[in-house]
Structure 1
Amino acid sequence: MISLPEAFLAMPRWWTEGGEWLAGLPAAVDRQCEMWGLEIDGPISHGSNAIVVRVSRDDEQLVLRMSPPGPDLPEHARALRWWDGRGTVRLYDVDLPRGAMLLERLGDSLLDQPIGDAMAVLGRLMRRLAVPAPADAVSTAANVSGRTPQLQADWERLGKPFDQAQLTEALRVAKHLSHTTSGLAANGDFHADQVLRGAREPWIVVDPLLYRGDPECDLARTLLTRVDEMADGAEIRDHFATIVSEAELDPERARDWVVFRALDYGLWGLAHRLTIDPERCRRILQAFVD
């Protein structure tokens, strides 16, 4: 059986849930390989809640991704099937009850690239994914409408962790972000850690979530994953401008999405006892709200 990486075992998610699944994961990988006729042929990598095992079948190099079964997996599978390789990893098979996906094998992470180059790639991918979305995809505007009524209550409950001006601005921009005329597809889980080097396309997105509406809905997270490398607010805004230009976005609406999502995610992170990401959200908010 495989040995799980210590860094994966230490992920915060397992502090409160998933212990039984984690304990049975090595045996589950063996069963899935037998079911799909796979041979393990490389090291294991991981994210925050999934492992990726390099496998082969009939001389074809693939990866087996295993994550806890739950509502996210069908959404990821649906997104991959719908984009069907357009800027996204190819899905060869899926076993939803077991949390297994068989995927195209990709290369190094975009996180390893210089930050300026990475921001340009993210912008181009944001535009590449922005094709007409299915009518039944969840709306980015509906996400804002559903979350907005909770923001002030969460802010107060958590001890007013962000400036009043930042909360006020997030609530202001939410009024128009809760409406959109765009019917384009948007990735609701978009950042450099989920973009890998490909062969058929230079860079390919993994683990997307399919929304309909504003392509820039997750632009804040593209900044957040590299913000520690940005010296100050001016540099944050410069990298924001690169994404906006490459993705051909409306700068004002893109800025408003960054403000809303930075405050929203910052509050969520604090509620879930995260420490680093809320501070990153604070830096992003300070760059865009006077």
Structure 2
Amino acid sequence: MEIDIPDTFVEERTRVAGTQGHQWIAGIPALVERLCERWDLRLDSEPPRHGANSLVLAARRRVDGAPCVLKVCQPPETTVTEAIGLRAWAGRGVVRLLDARTDDGALLLERLDAGRSLSDLELLPAADLPGAPTRPHPTPPPPGTRGHAYTATDLAHPLGPRQRALGGPLPGPWVDLAARMARDLASDAGESLVHADLHYGNVLAGTREPWLAIDPRPVAGDPEYSVPELMWTRIDEAAEPADVRDLLTALADAGGLDRDRARAWTVVRAVDYWLWGLDVGLTEDPVRCRRLVDTLAG
């Protein structure tokens, strides 16, 4: 089986995983052929798409011609939590899982329109879609799902030491505020099943619902946890402080979320991401985080 694997994907996996990544790439044709036989699929002619660690191929079921996609990931264990979350959501607001072979790092998913995401809409219309993409579904988290009580606690304690280790680049009051907010959030964290990697590019156009989320990283906690990434990924389009506040309000109201809790999670996660970005040498995202915190920390 010949598969035109994008050079950018080969370079990324080799850079991240070295020899192991190169060997996995070389084994993709045989893996895909085996999966197609198991699930009785034929590949479509459109070129594969990819993320940082996954290759996605358009396919159809031979028995009825129904469109689907085959997703293969490295390392394969990354599919375990994704499959658990998708099974729990059962297609409510997210892409539907058709089958999984987590030992092979493979998921069979319903096909969405990969050429249309919420990134294509103007900022406020994308944020203000009724209930999407932050709408909380009344889905209890599966046993063992990591909770936000632990996430918030894990964030609260090291913020100060991380700030000092970098030479104090952030205003000290903001770091202290984020630590206090994180402790408050940990004290009464929710127990919803939450998509912890939600951004506009991870919400694609569907047919059974207008917009469906993909690539979930499921955690148990507050649906407001999803707001910060939706803030900082397109904050450059919010020119003024009032626009930033309007964006937060639109996201919270569209999802039926608590505005104060959405603001708190945004400040906490923006400070965390800001420190991480400075530590690894990012240049643009720390500036975006500074705008967020500067606007919302007052």
Post-superposition offset of 1:51:
1.7
Q: Does 1:2 align with 2:17?
A: no
Determine if contact 2:270/2:293 at 8 Å carries over to the other structure: yes
Asked if 1:103 corresponds to 2:109, the answer is yes
SS in 2 for 1:159: coil
Q: 1:217 to 1:30 in 2, by over 3 A?
A: same
Which of 73, 80, 92 is residue 86 of structure 1 equivalent to? Answer: 92
Quote the residue 1:65 is aligned against.
Answer: 71
Q: How far off is 1:182 after superposition?
A: 2.8
Larger mean Cα displacement after TM superposition, 134-143 or 61-70: 134-143
For residues 6-37 of structure 1, what are the alpha-carbon distances to aligned partners after superposition, in whole Å with 9 as ceiling and x for unaligned? 333444x6433234323433443333323322
8 Å contact kept, 2:133–2:203: no
CA distance in 2, matches of 1:16, 1:52: 19
1:219 aligns with 2:222: no
Give the Cα–Cα distance (whole angstroms) in 2 for the partners of residues 221 and 214 of structure 1: 14
Q: Deviations over 1:237-268 (max 9, x none)?
A: 11111011111222111101000011112323
Tell me if 1:168 matches 2:176: yes
| Offset, 1:189 | 1.5
Partner of 2:80: helix, strand, or coil? Answer: helix
Alignment partner of 1:276 is 2:284:
yes
Aligned equivalents of 1:280, 1:85: Cα separation in 2: 33
* Matched ranges for 1:173-252 at <5 A: 173-180=181-188, 182-252=190-260
- In structure 2, what is the Cα distance between the partners aligned to 1:21 and 1:267? 33
Deviation of 1:38 (Å):
1.8
Q: Does 1:44 align with 2:48?
A: yes
Quickly say closer, same or farther: Cα 1:26–1:256, change in 2 above 3 A: same
Which residue of structure 1 lines up, in the alignment, with residue 16 of structure 2? 16
Contiguous gaps of at least 5 residues in structure 1: none
1:156 Cα deviation from its structure 2 partner: 2.3
Alpha-carbon separation, structure 1, partners of 2:26 and 2:160: 39
TM norm structure 1: 0.90
Partner SS state of residue 48, structure 1: coil
Does structure 1 conserve the Cα–Cα contact (< 8 Å) formed by 2:99 and 2:109? yes
Output the CA distance in 1 between the equivalents of 2:195 and 2:137: 7
Unmatched segments (≥5 aa) in structure 2: none
Number of positions where the alignment pairs a residue of Structure 1 with one of Structure 2: 289
Cα distance change on mapping 1:114 and 1:16 into 2, 3 Å: same
Alpha-carbon distance between aligned partners in 2 of 1:52 and 1:289, rounded to the nearest angstrom: 40
TM score, norm. by length of structure 2: 0.88
After superposition, the Cα gap between the structure-2 partners of 1:4 and 1:281, relative to the gap in structure 1 and judged at 3 Å, is: farther
Decide whether the 8 Å contact of 1:191 with 1:222 is kept in 2: yes
Distance 1:7 1:112 in 2: 23
Whether the 8 Å CA contact 1:69–1:96 is kept in 2: the answer is no
Deviates further, 194-203 or 206-215 = 206-215
Q: Residue 98 of structure 1 aligns to which amino acid in structure 2? A: D
Is the CA contact 2:192–2:223 (under 8 Å) kept in the aligned structure 1? yes
Greater CA deviation, 262-271 or 219-228? 262-271
